[in-house]
Structure 1
Amino acid sequence: MNMKKTTQTINIVPRVGTCVVLTPQWFASGEYSPQQTGFAPLINGERAFKALASAIEQAKHSINIITWGFQSSMYITRGGTPKRLGDLLKEAAEVRNVKVRVLVWFTQLGQLTDPNFPGYGAFKTQRTEKDIFGDYVPGYGADGVKTSVLTDADYEYDKEWHYNVKKKLIGKGNLIVEHREMSWGKDRKEANQRFDQMKNENNNKELDDLIAALSKQENDDAIQQANDKLKEHYPDPSSLQKLLLSRYPTHHQKVVVIDYQEPENAVGFVMGHNMLSAYWDKDDHQGIQVRASEGRDGETPWQDNSSCVCGGVVSHLYHNFVEAWEKNIGPEPELNQYSTMSAAQHCFSREKMNALNQRLDLDPNFPLKPTMAQICRTQPQNNCFEVETLYNNALCLARKYIYMENQYFRYPPFVAKIKKAIEERQARGYDKPLYLFVITNSTEEKALQSGSYMTYRMLEALGRPDVVPNYHRKAHPELEKTAPVNAKHIEGLKVHVCSLVSPKPDPLKPSLWQPVYVHSKVMMVDDVFLTLGSSNINLRSMRFDSELNIVLQDSDPIGLIPPMRRHLWQLHTGIATDDPKQTFEKWEKIMNTNKENKLNNIKPVASLIEFLDENTSWSKLD
C-alpha cells in the first residue's frame, strides 16, 4: 500500500488584499499529510479503556490492534459488571463475525525484565495436583510469562485463551493473535546466549567486539545510521547501551483501528496505554490497591494518556497496521482489499463525529472535537524519524510554555534545541521567559535507574543539578562530597521538573508518600501544539524503536488543548491557571509545601512534588 506525500503550498494573490498573515508550521513534512480530524483525549485508563470497550462491542467488520503489551484476562471495564478484553474480542469474532487481528511485540529476552504478553504461545501440559476423583488436572504452559499483578486464576485464563485462539477453538477463525520482533539480524540465538554470558561478566571489550562482528554480518543502512546517531549525541555510551539500543529495539506502537471498511463508522485509537491490567487507573490515583475487577490492581497508581480519533487520520493508522502486518506476518488479501481506500474516503465530517460521540462511551467533558492532526512515526527500518523532527520543530517554536508529561526525560539534544532557540530570540530583542514544565518519574526508583545518566545530563543542561546533587558531584570530582549543589540561572528559561505521588495515599503503608507511575507521552506547547502517543523522551523512541504519535495544531479560539491541559494540571496540583508565570509560582509553592510535609510525615497537599534523585551511582543503559 503506497502513500504519496502531499506537498503543502500557499498561494498568495497581492491584488486581492493588502496583507497576508502566515502562522508557523507545527506539522512535520512526513509520509502522512495533516488531516481534518475528530479528536478526543482519553486521560487515564478508566476513560481510555471504557471508550475502547464500547468501540469493540459495537464493531461490525474488523478490529485491528497493534500494541506493546497485551493481556487477554485484563478487565477492560471495572466495577458494576466488569468485562475482560479477551471476552470482548471473542464475542466480536464469534457472534458478529468481526475479523480481529492482534499484533504484539514479544521476545523471550525482553520479557525477562518486563513481561508484556502473558499466556502467549500456550501449550497443553499437566499439573501435579489432582481433582476430587484422583485425576490429574489438565493445564497449560506458555511462552508468555506471568506479570507481577496477575492472579493465578487470571494467568490460567490467559493461557487457556491463547491456546484456544491458536487451535481455533474460539473465534470461528476470525480471531488472530500474532507476535512480532524487531530483530535486524538473521539469527540472534547465538548472539543472545553470548550477550547473556558477557552481561554477567560485565566485559565491555567483548561486547564491543560482538557489536563489530554483528555489524559486518549486516547490510542494513538503518542500523548504521542509528549507530551513527548514537555516536553523534552520545560520545561516551557504554558498550552494553550500544548493544541494547542498536541490536535489541522494540516495536512500541499502540494503535487500534475499528471498522475501517465502513468510513462512516470507522474509528481509531492512538494510545499511550498498553492493554495490561496495571495500566487501568482513575484520575484520583488512590493509593489503595484493589481487585482487578473493581478498580486499580497495579502496584502503583498510574498516570497515562491516549486518544480517540475519526476522519482522514484513520486511513493513515490503517496503512501503518497493514504495513506492520505484512512485514511481520505476511500479505493478507482481506487486508489489502481495503488498502486502496484513501484518506479522502475517510474524510472528516461533523455528522460522522457527532454520531460517534453519541454511540461511544466518551467522557462528555472530552468528546470528539474537530481539529487538524497528523500521524508521525519513528520507523528506523524505513529511515523514518518524524517524531524527533516534530519535537525539534515544536521546541524551537515555543514562546510561552512547554509542558512535557513523559515516562522518561532522557534526550539531551532537546535541551540544546530549547536553549539555542531562546538565545536566537534574545538576540532579536525578545525578553520574555519561556516556562518549561516537566512531569516525569524520578530515576531514584530502582526500576528507572537504567537511564539516570541521560536524565542527569538533561537536568544539568537545564540548570537543575540541585535535584541530582550526587550525580553533579560525581561529574565534578573537584567538588567536596558535602559541597552544596544549587540551581543555575539560565537567562530566558524557567524550569520546573516534577514527579507525582498519590494525593490519597494508602494509610496502611509505611509512608504516606507513594509514587504515581507516569507512563504518559504528552507534550503541549503554547496551547497550539499537542502530541501524544507511544513515544518517550529518550534515544530509543527517537531513533531505535518503532513509535507512532498523533500531532495537533490547535488554532481554534475555543481549542482542544486548553481544556486538556487544565484538566491535567488540576489533577496534579489542584489548580489550573492559564498564565505560565502564575502557574510557575503556584507549582513552586506546592512543591515547597510538599517538601516540608514529607519531612514532617504529613500527607501531600497535592500530587505534585519536585523531582529528586539522590543516588550516588548512575546507569547508562538507556
Structure 2
Amino acid sequence: MGLFDLRRNCWRIERADKAAVIIDACDYYRVIRQAMLDARHQVLIIGWDFDPRIKLDRTDEANKDETLGRFLLGLAKAKPHVAIKILKWDFGALKTLFRGSAIWWIIRLALTRSITFKLDGAHPKGCSHHQKIVVIDDCFAVCGGIDMTGDRWDRPAHADHDPDRLRPNGRPYGPWHDATSAVTGPLARALGELARERWKRATGETLQPVTEAPEIWPEGLEAHLIGAEFAIARTRADYRGHGEIRESEALFLDMIAAAQRFIYAESQYFASPRIAAAIRARMMEDDPPEFVLVNPIHADGWLEQVAMDATRVRLGQIIGRSDTHNRFRIFTPKTDGGEDIYVHAKVMVVDDRILRVGSSNMNNRSLGLDSECDVAMEAAGDDEMKVIAGLRTRLMAEHLGVEESAVREQFAATGSLLATIDALGHSGRTLQLLEFEKPSEGQKFIADTELLDPKNPDQMFEGFTRRSLFQGLRARFPRRRRQALSSA
C-alpha cells in the first residue's frame, strides 16, 4: 500500500510529465525568468514576499540593471496579452514601506494594464500566507521554499564573500541555502487550480484556467524525473467557512513512520512537538532509522530565535534522552571560512524512496496556521530511487564541501548517513553538529507555552497556563515522565 492517502495526508495525486528539484535561488531565478519569457497567456505568482528591486539573472551575460520590476514591466510591454497576477501576504507588505523604492515599484507595476498586484489577507489574525507557487499558462509550475524577494539569492558554493550576494541597497547579506521544484503536465495544472483558488479567496476574482498552451520547459533545466506521480499536501487554518487542512502535518508523520533506514531533512525550524514525538517513538525502537536534520544555527530574526531556537533545544533534549542508539542528529552548515549558512530549504528524503519539497517547516505555524503547499513523490522503481538518491547526494555534497562521488562512495561503503558525514566532515565548509545552548528561563517559558508558535488560531488567544509544549507529547509519555520533562 502506498504512502499517500487522499484527503488525509494529501489533496491530489497527479503526474508530472517533467519534474526537477532546483537547489538554491541562483538557478531558480534564472529558470523562472526564462519560463516567464515563454508565457503566452498568464503568469500567476503566489508568494509570502515579493520585492521588485531584486535581480533575477546575475550571470556575467545578464543585464546588470534589470531588476524583477524592470523585467516584469518589459514583459508586459512585449507581451501585453499575457496577464501577470501577483499575490503577496498582506501583513508582510508592511515591510515594503521600509524598503526604499520598493513601494514605488509596486505602484508602478499595479498601474500597468496587464499586471495585477494584490495582497492576501484571507487568513485568521496572526496567521500568514506562506505558499511559494508560480504557475505559467497552467503547463509549468514551481512549488517550494523560495520567494522572489531579497536575501534569497545565492550560489551553491555559498562563498564567504560572493560579490553578487547584495541587497538592492548594495549591502551584503550572508550565505543562504534554499530549494524548490519545477513541474509540468497534470501536476502543474493542479497547482494552477490551487493558485487560482487562493487568488479567489484573497481577491474575490475568479481566474479561468488556461486550456491550450504549448509545454514550457526552460532551456538548460535538467528534468530529473519523467512521468512521476506526485502528491500535493497543504496546510490551511479554519477561516470564514473554509475548514482547517493539516495534510502537511499528516504527511510528515507518515513519512517518519515509513522510514526503514534513514531520513534526511532540511528545514528552517524544528519546533513541532508532534513531529518530535514521532521521531522519539522511532528512536525507541530496537533498530531505529537514522534521522539527519539540517537546520540553520539560529532562526532568522531575534523574535524567531527566542521562539524557535529554545523550542528546538527542548525537543532535542527530549528525543536525546530516548535515543540510546545515537541515530538522531541535527547539523548546521558552514562556509569555507566558518560562517553560518542559513538553511531556508524545506526538503525531506526517506530511504531514497520518498522525496518531499515545499514551503512547510517543522513548526506549529506551518502545520496548522499558515497556508502551505508541498509536493511529494514515492519512487515507483529503481530508476526513480536513483534520482532521489542523487538529489540527496548532491545536497550532502554541497553542505560537506566535497564532490558528489565522495558522498556516493562513502555511503555505499557504510550504508549510513551519519558515518558518511563523520568521515567527510572537516574544518571549513562542512556540516557541523549543532550544539545546544541552554535556554534562559524566559526562553524556556516562551518555548514551553508555545507563545510565538501556536498550533492553531484559537491558541493565540488562550491564557498561557492552558498551553504547554508538552501537550503535543502527552500521548507519547506517561504522566510521571511528563512532569520530569516539564521541569528539565
Same fold (TM > 0.5): yes
Letter paired with 1:160: W
1:384 aligns with 2:245: yes
Tell me the residue number matched to 1:249. Answer: 127
8 Å CA contact 2:123, 2:237 repeated in 1: no
1:569 aligns with 2:424: no
**Which one of the candidate residues 150, 164, 179 is aligned to 1:277?**
150
Show the 5 A alignment for 1:432-511.
432-443=287-298, 447=302, 448-463=305-320, 488=321, 490-491=323-324, 494-503=327-336, 505=337
Counterpart Cα distance in 1 of 2:280 and 2:380: 25
8 Å CA contact 1:59, 1:92 repeated in 2: no
TM normalised by structure 1 equals 0.63
Tell me the residue number matched to 2:278. Answer: 417
8 Å CA contact 2:235, 2:246 repeated in 1: yes
Note the C-alpha offset of 1:490: 2.4
Tell me the residue number matched to 2:141. Answer: 268
Note the C-alpha offset of 1:445: 7.5
Q: Deviations over 1:410-463 (max 9, x none)?
A: 11211222333465xx5xxxx544111010022488632321232122201221
In structure 2, relative to structure 1, the CA distance for the partners of 1:49 and 1:274 (3 Å cut) is: same
Show the 5 A alignment for 1:181-580.
181-184=121-124, 247-260=125-138, 266-291=139-164, 298-332=172-206, 335-336=207-208, 338=209, 356-357=216-217, 360-364=218-222, 367=224, 369-381=226-238, 382-421=243-282, 426=285, 431-443=286-298, 447=302, 448-463=305-320, 488=321, 490-491=323-324, 494-503=327-336, 505=337, 513-559=338-384, 560-573=387-400, 574=402, 575-577=406-408, 578-579=411-412
5+ residue gaps, structure 2: 454-488
Q: What SS is found at the alignment partner of 1:256?
A: strand
Q: What SS is found at the alignment partner of 1:458?
A: helix
Letter paired with 2:148: M
Tell me the residue number matched to 1:138. Answer: none
Counterpart Cα distance in 2 of 1:445 and 1:51: 26
Tell me the residue number matched to 1:178. Answer: 118
Counterpart Cα distance in 1 of 2:432 and 2:319: 18
Note the C-alpha offset of 1:297: 6.6
Letter paired with 1:79: T
Tell me the residue number matched to 1:145. Answer: 98
Q: What SS is found at the alignment partner of 1:278?
A: coil
Note the C-alpha offset of 1:93: 2.1
8 Å CA contact 1:27, 1:553 repeated in 2: no
8 Å CA contact 1:254, 1:273 repeated in 2: yes
Counterpart Cα distance in 1 of 2:306 and 2:424: 26
Q: What SS is found at the alignment partner of 2:382?
A: coil
Counterpart Cα distance in 2 of 1:444 and 1:279: 15
Counterpart Cα distance in 1 of 2:259 and 2:276: 13
8 Å CA contact 2:292, 2:417 repeated in 1: no
Tell me the residue number matched to 1:587. Answer: 421
Q: What SS is found at the alignment partner of 1:56?
A: helix
Which structure would you say has the larger Rg? 1
Letter paired with 2:56: I
Q: What SS is found at the alignment partner of 2:117?
A: strand
In structure 2, relative to structure 1, the CA distance for the partners of 1:444 and 1:374 (3 Å cut) is: closer
1:67 aligns with 2:47: yes
Q: What SS is found at the alignment partner of 2:253?
A: helix
8 Å CA contact 1:378, 1:385 repeated in 2: yes
Range moving further from structure 2, 286-295 or 58-67: 286-295
Range moving further from structure 2, 70-79 or 29-38: 29-38
Q: Deviations over 1:523-546 (max 9, x none)?
A: 110111111111111000001111
8 Å CA contact 2:297, 2:434 repeated in 1: yes
8 Å CA contact 2:269, 2:299 repeated in 1: no
Q: What SS is found at the alignment partner of 2:3?
A: coil
Tell me the residue number matched to 1:165. Answer: 109
8 Å CA contact 1:572, 1:608 repeated in 2: yes
In structure 2, relative to structure 1, the CA distance for the partners of 1:445 and 1:86 (3 Å cut) is: closer
Note the C-alpha offset of 1:331: 2.2
8 Å CA contact 2:283, 2:323 repeated in 1: no
Range moving further from structure 2, 31-40 or 559-568: 31-40
Q: Deviations over 1:65-124 (max 9, x none)?
A: 1001101111011032244222222222222121000000022xx567xx3xx3xxxxxx
Note the C-alpha offset of 1:28: 4.8
Counterpart Cα distance in 2 of 1:589 and 1:419: 26
Counterpart Cα distance in 1 of 2:308 and 2:188: 34
Q: What SS is found at the alignment partner of 2:398?
A: helix
Q: Deviations over 1:20-47 (max 9, x none)?
A: xxx4424554563311212100000111
Counterpart Cα distance in 1 of 2:297 and 2:167: 29
8 Å CA contact 1:182, 1:249 repeated in 2: no
How well do the aligned residues superpose, as a CA RMSD in angstroms? 2.7
